[in-house]
Amino acid sequence: MPEGHTVHRLAAAFEQAFGGQRVRTSSPQGRFSEAAQLDGMVLLGAEAVGKHLFLLFAPSDDVDRGSPVVRHVHIHLGLYGSWTFAGEPGFADAHAIGAPRLRIGEQEEQLDGGGVSDWRRLVPRPTVRLRIAGPQGLADLTGPTACEIMDAQERQAVLDRLGPDPLRADANPARFVDAVRRSRTTIGALLMNQKIVAGIGNIYRAELLFRARLDPFVPGNELSAGTLEEMWEDLVALMTYGARTGRIVTTQPEHRDIEARIVERSRGTRQNGDEDPDVVSRERSFYVYHRQTLPCRLCGTAVRSTDLAARTVFWCPRCQTARRRRAGWTREHPAAPWALTPGSSGEAAA
């Protein structure tokens, strides 16, 4: 499932590709018949809140975003959803975001000349829930958990049930701190609860807890406000980097070549730009995520994994022993002469 930084990248891609333009909308699959109501409207913009994407449609480009005539298309990609883009050069920075998918046209009927030379002639696959086409390109949505039209009140109801989003300017970290400290649920489970904090997925959970030296099974109400405030600051830095680059990188440069391995599933952990030799590879990007049974990069102890909140949590049983005390990489690790700076994304420090 895409984590929050990916959805923010999607919102930026839609702003770039279609913002302020009159677009054509359709549902080749037929499961989003409401697309006909939007056909010919202007896409005013896009908004990301945690793992939720909202596309704003209006009759004209001079309509205020708060007007009752604005229609909000709410999309949650879930585990299998994906957007793919095709168009003229420079149309969109990304060609696919979400679950792994082929680029639009790769399995379509070949056009004259033996290749896809005109995006306007691309026939949508029968699984496309929603197609949006503008003057310079198009975007196809497949496999989402949710794709529905909402009014302003329904949109607000979605926002009201979400915790603060570290990538939004209106996020209030005090809500996160207070919600965690009121709960006896483990911090590892709370971080996956979108009502506590919006946008965190399994990678950010595992890596954030490692960087904070926190035992995933500590109850939230045992943590100090200072510890949680430091975690929030670190999360903002990590997710901001992820939104900018499309990659989650949590390791400091000096640690990346230590035990540079991960234990991948058959499909592996894919990130934006994996094919680029100049980016930090996924084998060098994480401290504990998908590193179960491998030696910890800092202390050499075998990384462990178990189920927590319906997902697998990864942690180092030696490094992550902090419970009630303030946790942070402000002092040297007991088994290694390295110190991490709270709030640093690693890659930014490279």
Catalytic residues: 2-3, 51, 311
Please give the sequence-ordered ranges of beta strands (E in DSSP) within 119-162, or none if there are none.
128-133, 137-142, 146-150
Residue with tokens 């909140």: 309
Backbone angles phi, psi at 313, to 5 degrees: -105, 140
Distance CA 181, CA 224 (A): 8
Cα angle 194, 196, 198 (rounded to 5 degrees) comes to 45
How far are the Cα atoms of 75, 100, 264 from residue 82, in angstroms, in the given order?
A: 10, 7, 21
**Beta carbons within 10 angstroms of residue 38's beta carbon:** 22
Q: Which of 228, 232, 202 is nearest to 305 (CA)?
A: 202
How far are the Cα atoms of 75, 133, 170, 272, 298 from residue 163, in angstroms, in the given order?
A: 18, 33, 11, 26, 32
Helix (H, G, I), strand (E, B) or coil at 229: helix
Helix (H, G, I), strand (E, B) or coil at 129: strand
64 Ramachandran zone, left/alpha/beta (phi>0; psi -120 to 50): beta
Distance CA 324, CA 46 (A): 41
Q: Which of 133, 188, 153, 131 is nearest to 305 (CA)?
A: 188
Buried b (16+ CB within 10 A) or exposed e, 295-320: ebbbeeeebbbeebbeeebbbbebbb
